[in-house]
Structure 1
Amino acid sequence: MRVATSQLEPGCLLTKDVMGQTNRPIVSKNTTLQPLHIDVLKKFSIDTVEVSNRRSDGSLFIVSETTEKEEPDQDLRSEEPVLPFFESYLAAVQEYKKWFTSWQGGSPVNISTIRKVMVPLLERAVDSAGHEVFSLHHYTSSKNYIYHHSVAMGLLSSYVASKMGYNYGEWIQVGLAGLLADSGMAKISERITWKEAPLTEREYEMVKSHPTYSYRNVEKISSLSNHAKVAILQHHERLDGTGYPLGVSEDKIHPFSQIIAVCDMYHAMTSERMYRRKQSPYKVLEEILQEQFGRYDHKVISALVKEMTSYSTGTKIRLSDHREAEVIFVEKTNPTRPLVQIIEDGQFLPLKEQLDLHIEEVYE
Structure 2
Amino acid sequence: MDKKYVEVNEEILGSYLGEDVYSIGGNMIVPLNTIVNEHILKKLLDFRIDRVFIYNSNPVHGDDYLSAENINEDQKKYIEDVNEAKMMIQDLASGKELDFNKAENISEHIYSKLNDCGALMDCVNSVRIADSYTYSHLVNVSVYSMLLGKWLSFTKKQLKDVVMAGLLHDVGKAQIPLEILNKKGPLTDHEYEIMKRHPVYGYEIIKNYSEISMDVKRAVIMHHEKENGSGYPFGIKGNQKNLYSKIITVADIFDAITSERVYRGRQTPFTAFKELESVGFDTVDPKIMMVLFTNMPSYYVGSKVKMTNGEIGEIVYVPNQCAYAPVIRVNENFVDFSVEKEELIKEFL
Pick the aligned partner of 1:47 from 23, 44, 47: 44
Answer yes or no: is 1:245 the counterpart of 2:241.
no
Say which SS state the counterpart of residue 153 (structure 1) adopts: helix
Change (3 A) 1:39 1:265: same
Establish whether residue 128 from structure 1 lines up as the match of residue 116 from structure 2: yes
Structure 1 length as normaliser, TM-score?
0.73
Matches within 5 A, 1:12-51: 17-20=13-16, 41-42=38-39, 47=44
Q: Is the counterpart of residue 353 in structure 1 residue 339 in structure 2?
A: yes
Confirm or deny that 1:235 pairs with 2:223.
yes
Distance 1:221 1:327 in 2: 45
Q: How many residues align?
A: 303
Change (3 A) 1:226 1:293: same
Q: Which runs of 5+ in 2 are unaligned?
A: 1-6, 19-34, 47-70
What amino acid is aligned across from residue 342 of structure 2 in structure 1?
A: D
For 1:100, give the aligned amino acid.
I
Q: Paired residue for 1:108?
A: 97
Report how far residue 332 of structure 1 moved. 3.0
Q: Bigger shift: 216-225 or 305-314?
A: 305-314
Query: Could you say which residue in structure 2 is the equivalent of 1:146?
Result: 134
CA distance in 2, matches of 1:44, 1:230: 40
CA distance in 1, matches of 2:136, 2:38: 19
Partner of 2:248: 260
Task: Determine the C-alpha separation between the residues in 1 that align with 2:120 and 2:41.
Answer: 20
SS of equivalent residue, structure 1 residue 286: helix
Which residue in 2 is equivalent to 1:175?
A: 163
Q: Radius of gyration: which is bigger? A: 1
Q: Give RMSD over aligned pairs.
A: 3.2
| C-alpha spacing 1:19/1:111, structure 2 compared with 1 (3 Å) | same
Q: TM-score, normalised by structure 2?
A: 0.76
SS of the equivalent of 2:118 reads helix
User: How many Å apart are 1:281 and its aligned residue?
Assistant: 1.8
Query: 2:82 — aligned with what?
Result: 93
Percent identity, aligned pairs only, is: 25
On the 8 A contact 1:262/1:296 being kept in 2, the answer is: yes
Contact 1:140 1:149 in 2 (8 A): no
Deviation for aligned residue 1:342:
2.0
CA contact (8 A) 2:314 2:330 kept: yes
* Contact 1:337-1:358 at 8 Å conserved across structures: no
Please list, as runs of the form range in 1=range in 2, the aligned pairs for 1:211-222 lying within 5 A after superposition.
Answer: 211-222=199-210
